[in-house]
Structure 1
Amino acid sequence: MRNLDPVLIFITVAEMGSFTLAASRLGIQKGRASIAVRKLEEDVGVRLLHRTTRTVQLTEDGRAFQVRARELLAEVDDLHSMFAGGQVPLRGRLRVDLPTEIARSTIVPALPEFLATHPELELEMSSTDRQVDLVQEGFDCVLRLGTIRDETLIARPLGLLRMANAASPSYLARHGTPRSLEDLQTQGHRIIHFSTMLGARPHGWEYPDGESFATLQLPGPLHVNSAQTYEAAALAGLGLIQAPVLGIGQYLAAGSLVEVLPDLRRRALAVSLVVAHRSNLSRRVRAFMKWIEDVLKPHLQ
């Protein structure tokens, strides 16, 4: 499989945006990385990378080639182990993205056992509350909350996160504890607005309405795009929030947040593992997805 080395070098350069960083990661000389990619471009007959003195970026042909190249390496990984069962250890790099609060509260605390089981696996974990681009940003799989609207992606639903309405004791002391939707308006309550994209129209306060859900627009001076900042703002007494119990359960148990309007919780939040392609998933991707599913199962409806 040595003649696949240029493909691996190209993928690493593309993902890191640098020949220097890629060469350091692969343990080779920068000159060897540059020569390998240039020879690969000659072989395929197109320019794969735009090079400047400061950056390296994929061309359009390079993006298409990268997708197929990652699939090829996944297939090679499976070929190496197809007759060995579980005897061949997982090895190589795995790049994933997780929502910040789930990563902090649930996934990272469970990681030591997973990495001890697979010591030759190198895990790159992004933690963000925006929707990353799996293909262009080179992620093997991502964990997403809410509806998956991109029909080109393959989603595996895992379950639902139970939600809770909450505020700090200091906030409730100032504004009163709401017992109804009317109280939210007449008592002058404020909410903390959350959106993965700052500047987007506020979602409002969601509540059950018959067999569906409706929203009530409430004022609030603070807009955030991070789940952890959202929780911190509630702890600071800046307003009401609607958040997964998975994240704020510890604060509810400690009394630093208080649940309000328990009969008017927003809809449960769907949790899904998402990949760009159903086929050609490497063993390490399949193993990680199964592990994530097992870790989250106790927290999902």
Structure 2
Amino acid sequence: MDRFDAMQAFARVVEAGSFTKAAQTLHMSKTSVTQLVQQLEARLRVRLLNRTTRKVNVTADGAAYYERVLHVLADVDDAETSLSGASAVPRGRLRVDVPSPLATMILIPALPDFHEKYPDIQIDMGVSDRMVDIIGENVDCVVRGGELTDQSLMARHVGDLQLRVYAAPGYLRRFGTPLHPQELEDSEHRVVGFYWARTGKAFPYAMYKDGETIKVQGRYTLAVDDGNAYAAAGLAGMGVLWLPDYMARAHVIRGGLVPLLQDWRLDPMPLYVAFPPHRHVSAKLRVFIDWVVELMAQHAPVAASLAGAQFISNRPPAQ
């Protein structure tokens, strides 16, 4: 038995909650992972996991051992990256998940510069607006807009997306130009709906002007759960939509979208990089996060009033 492989397998089973998921993320067979954990338990002469037909739970001894294993794995990673100049040139596979518009419009176009600087980092990028199980799917980090709801994650606030209201010229010719947000609730106007994967519900937008606040939900004929599809629906004239500046800018210049209600203000949408709190933040993850911060400083910088709040823990305080 390779004790390091066994500890890695055990840690992934604890994090994923199943031997099957752990095997998938380790690119091993379920049988191999099971055997490694069994051999580890035999060597330690203690049961680390309770297995049922539905799930795997860590025992009290297993939980204590897991915390020690994390430190060992982190120390090994540090030792490897400190050799042969590896700490100066981070390397390895990095699994990330990012929203589709951010990937296609900002991150991927900038990746050649990142890989010129860090040629030994291999990125597996999931491109979606779905809710990702960071631990269960063994993802190193996710980039997400909006307030974080997962109380188990650590996060870095990397940007603020300024939202504005837009519609296609064809839509405005058919339905007219709204002069007040309330018209989007009370008239024949339609919005493009966006429902969040984590809730399955559409998102209301609060708009402000001179002490007045209007929350706009609107009525839609189409709702989507993907940012690129959302923009495409607006360009096709399916309704009024709210977009970050970076998504709308080129369409406004080309005449595909028209800004609306420009004297009304919307709260910016915070953008975070989130990652598991118990994981060792490797050199490759650190440089990736720093790179995202630099990119967003160009496209959607953190609001000045929030610039000091960089790292955020969503875990509740100890009682």
Unaligned 5+ residue runs, structure 2?
Answer: 302-319
Match of 2:56 in 1: 59
User: Which residue of structure 1 lines up, in the alignment, with residue 257 of structure 2?
Assistant: 257
Deviations 1:36-76 (A, max 9, x none): 45423534544769799xxxx97222996878756643332
Deviation at 1:183, TM superposition (A): 3.8
CA contact under 8 A between 1:48 and 1:58: conserved in structure 2? no
The 3 A distance-change label for structure 1 pair 183 and 126 is: same
Distance of 1:218 and 1:7 partners within structure 2: 52
What TM-score do you get using the length of structure 1 for normalisation? Answer: 0.80
Alpha carbons of 1:58 and 1:141: their partners in 2 closer, same or farther (altered >3 Å)?
farther
- Give 1:158's aligned residue: 158
Alignment match, 1:167: 167
What is the rounded CA distance, in whole Å, between the counterparts of 1:273 and 1:102 in structure 2? Answer: 13
* Structure 2 partner of 1:109: 109
Q: How many residues align?
A: 293
Could you tell which deviates more after superposition, 92-101 or 38-47? 38-47
Q: Deviations over 1:210-268 (max 9, x none)?
A: 56854133211222111111111111111111111122222222111211112224311
Residue 105 of structure 1 and its aligned partner are, at CA, apart by 0.8
Cα deviation digits, residues 80-101 of structure 1 (max 9, x gap): 3447766553222212121221
Q: Which amino acid aligns with 1:285?
A: L
- The whole-number CA distance in structure 2 between the counterparts of 1:211 and 1:82 is 56
Moved more, 196-205 or 163-172: 196-205
Q: For 2:23 and 2:219, how far apart are their aligned partners in 1? A: 50
Say if 2:185 and 2:216, in contact at 8 Å, map to a contact too: no
Cα 1:276–1:32 change in 2 (3 A) is closer
Deviations 1:100-138, CA, capped at 9 Å, x for gaps: 211111111111222233233222212221332322222
The amino acid that maps onto 1:61 is V
CA–CA distance in structure 1, aligned partners of residues 187 and 285 of structure 2: 50
Aligned counterparts of 1:255 and 1:37: Cα–Cα separation in 2 = 60
- Distance in 2 separating the partners of 1:61 and 1:278: 16
Map of 1:140 onto structure 2: 140
Q: Is the 8 A contact 2:252 2:258 kept in 1?
A: yes
Backbone CA RMSD of aligned residues: 3.5
Letter in 2 for 1:170: G
Q: Give the structure 1 partner of residue 193 of structure 2.
A: 193
Q: Residue type of the partner of 2:261?
A: L
CA contact (8 A) 2:80 2:86 kept: no
Distance 1:167 1:257 in 2: 5
Structure 1 distance, partners of 2:101, 2:109, is 12
Change (3 A) 1:72 1:173: farther
